[in-house]
Structure 1
């Protein structure tokens, strides 16, 4: 069975938060992604203040932490 992936659909984040050593991403389409911070060594070693000092890239296509020099794409989280 083949699965067709539509690469023209972009998924945007509307908010991120941190809970129980997890990165929680709320998507514009209503879904939520929860991934362990251990997937991202820089984030797992960061303080709460550093984690919460983030900004969206491309209106929600990704997340950037300036102080930590870390970028995460929403598409990458979905893979």
Structure 2
């Protein structure tokens, strides 16, 4: 008996940012949640700046123009925090 598994769709559907957590809802129904502290620009941004995000990279990225921050669903799924800056 053959069956096919549903295909993963890691494009961004929605983004929410709480006091300590960034959550990204994907088109396939999954939600990725990571500590906000992993992304210092987002952590240091105002609530209004955090709310102003755009889908980028063909649906696989998120861009916050006011703070010049870009994240990808691939990086979030891998658990990759922002690189430390000197």
Same fold (TM over 0.5): yes
* Aligned residues of 2:20 and 2:35 also touching (Cα < 8 A): yes
Q: Which segment is superposed worse, 24-33 or 12-21?
A: 12-21
In terms of Rg, which structure is larger? Answer: 2
Aligned counterparts of 1:57 and 1:23: Cα–Cα separation in 2:
17
In structure 1, stretches of 5+ residues that fail to align are 1-8
Q: Could you state the TM-score of these two structures normalised by the residue count of structure 2? A: 0.76
Superposed displacement of residue 76, structure 1: 0.5
Q: Which has the higher helix share?
A: 2
Does residue 58 (structure 1) correspond to residue 57 (structure 2)? The answer is yes
User: Equivalent residue for 2:20?
Assistant: 21
CA RMSD, 1 decimal: 1.4
Does residue 39 (structure 1) correspond to residue 35 (structure 2)? The answer is no
Aligned counterparts of 1:27 and 1:10: Cα–Cα separation in 2:
7
User: Equivalent residue for 1:49?
Assistant: 48
Superposed displacement of residue 60, structure 1: 2.0
Runs of 4+ in 1 over 4 A off after TM superposition: none
Q: Could you state the TM-score of these two structures normalised by the residue count of structure 1? A: 0.83
Distance 1:51 1:18, change over 3 A: same
Superposed displacement of residue 31, structure 1: 0.5
